[in-house]
Structure 1
Amino acid sequence: MTISLRHARVRYGPLEALHGVTLTGPGPGLTVLLGRNGSGRSTALRALAGTVPLSGGAVVWDGVDVTRVPAYERARRGLFLVPERQAVFGSLTVRENLELVASAYDSALDAYPQLRPLLPRRAGTLSGGEQRMLALSRALLARARVLLVDEPAQGMSPAVAARTYELLSALDACVVVAEQRLPPVLRGRPAFVYELRRGVVVFGGEAGERAVYP
């Protein structure tokens, strides 16, 4: 199980955000896209998901070119994207957000027990970290074949962030996450890392090969 960008280019009007990026997320396993704001890491996730079109190159999923397959069809085939913003339905309650994915959601509450007392609350009233927990709970319930997550631990305490990465690392799926810096919990753990700068890949290797990212 793999999902890849091959020489991918993405343009936003006159600006090119990805300049021929090639990277692969194997599965089951965890791949981390590192980079500062403007590096292209979030655009790479969106390109894999099909929510932004390529101006060149290809998206290949399990050996099949899916570049022209729309985002909704990729989702039907088992791809789940958790964007950095608007990852939950703010006007719905926590319970309703979970029920959109599965009628039985105890496993999500076991993963994030902090959500249990928040079930009747509207998702839009939750803190940033609580919304991330809810968004990831929905992703866990979806049992995706490919899970793409932009800044999964944003707003979380260190303990909850560590728990989040334990959950992601244990999934039987191809998991690709985007982060500004390598999470401390991943140092010394099996994970493949790509570092992007200004829309190009400047490093690719195991997480332990580079302990510090500038």
Structure 2
Amino acid sequence: MTGTSIALRHARVRYGPLEALHGVTLVAPGPGLTVLLGRNGSGRTTALRALAGTLPLCGGAVAWDGADVTRAPAHERARRGLRLVPERRAVFGSLTVRENLELAGPVTGFALDAYPQLRPLLARRAGTLSGGEQRMLALARALPAHARVLLVDEPTQGMAPSVAAHTYELLAALDACVVIAEQRLPPVLRGRPAFVYALRRGTVVFAGEAGEWTGSPGSPGSPGRRGE
């Protein structure tokens, strides 16, 4: 896959009278991993949804490989190779694990090799799975899709530490532009080539390499470059 990138340019998003993003600028290059950090209410999930097109901007732009796609609807971005794995409702609870996987295409060895824990659960309804198992299923659907851009909100929520570490390895190895939203920087990513943006109250307060990040979003002692 050739290199690709997706970006927000001075993006503003409103929920009714409340502005959730205040002119956020960030660039996620690929292949590679970009991490959006922030507490609940920081704007990290809003930024993912703005990139995916499921939330409209009230100002600024979304650029994909330098082209303005701000007005492109979510289904058009998906057709071009963008995949969003939301934090909630990422699987169809009334369908079985196998049926969920089949919605993304034939159930391949790749999907199940990524998470072999799902093999004995293929006949189970997805809604009966634990939170961590549902995250595995959601990612097993997305990983074989060969997305150009993959956006994942809290990919390892509910997973055991060993499965979470495996998940980050899978995401970091993808030949795609991968953007994940997390509350804290996963320790396994500190030694990897990943770029970090920390958001606080809808603004970027830190931008730098994962190895430079030492604090929490908005902490005054965090090194690195401030967002534009």
Answer yes or no: same fold by TM over 0.5. yes
**Aligned residue-pair number:** 214
Q: 1:171 aligns with which of 174, 182, 188?
A: 174
Pair 1:118 & 2:133 matched: no
Q: Which residue of structure 1 lines up, in the alignment, with residue 148 of structure 2?
A: 145
Q: Is the 8 A contact 1:187 1:211 kept in 2?
A: no
C-alpha deviation, 1:187, in angstroms:
1.2
C-alpha deviation, 1:203, in angstroms:
0.2
Q: Is the 8 A contact 1:147 1:174 kept in 2?
A: yes
- For normalisation by structure 2, the TM-score amounts to 0.93
Q: Which residue of structure 2 lines up, in the alignment, with residue 201 of structure 1?
A: 204
Note the aligned Cα RMSD (angstroms): 0.7
C-alpha deviation, 1:212, in angstroms:
3.4
What runs of 5+ residues in structure 1 fail to find an aligned partner?
A: none
Pair 1:87 & 2:87 matched: no
For 2:144 and 2:152, locate their aligned partners in 1 and report how far apart those are by CA, in whole Å. 14
Query: What percentage of residue pairs aligned between the two structures are identical?
Result: 82
Q: Is the 8 A contact 2:115 2:140 kept in 1?
A: yes
SS in 1 for 2:175: coil
For 2:21 and 2:212, locate their aligned partners in 1 and report how far apart those are by CA, in whole Å. 24
For 1:13 and 1:105, locate their aligned partners in 2 and report how far apart those are by CA, in whole Å. 43
- For normalisation by structure 1, the TM-score amounts to 0.99
Amino acid at match of 1:21: V
For 2:105 and 2:175, locate their aligned partners in 1 and report how far apart those are by CA, in whole Å. 18
Q: 32-41 or 103-112, which moves further after superposition?
A: 103-112
Q: Which residue of structure 2 lines up, in the alignment, with residue 129 of structure 1?
A: 132
Q: Which residue of structure 2 lines up, in the alignment, with residue 41 of structure 1?
A: 44
Deviations 1:170-201 (A, max 9, x none): 00000000000000111111100000000000
SS in 1 for 2:90: coil
Q: Which residue of structure 1 lines up, in the alignment, with residue 222 of structure 2?
A: none
Q: Is the 8 A contact 2:98 2:107 kept in 1?
A: no
Q: Which residue of structure 1 lines up, in the alignment, with residue 224 of structure 2?
A: none
Deviations 1:4-47 (A, max 9, x none): 00000000000000000000110000000000000000000000
For 2:198 and 2:107, locate their aligned partners in 1 and report how far apart those are by CA, in whole Å. 38
Deviations 1:129-150 (A, max 9, x none): 0000000000102111000000
Q: 1:61 aligns with which of 61, 64, 69?
A: 64
Q: 99-108 or 112-121, which moves further after superposition?
A: 99-108
What runs of 5+ residues in structure 2 fail to find an aligned partner?
A: 220-228
SS in 2 for 1:84: coil
For 2:113 and 2:58, locate their aligned partners in 1 and report how far apart those are by CA, in whole Å. 42
Moved over 3 A (4+): none
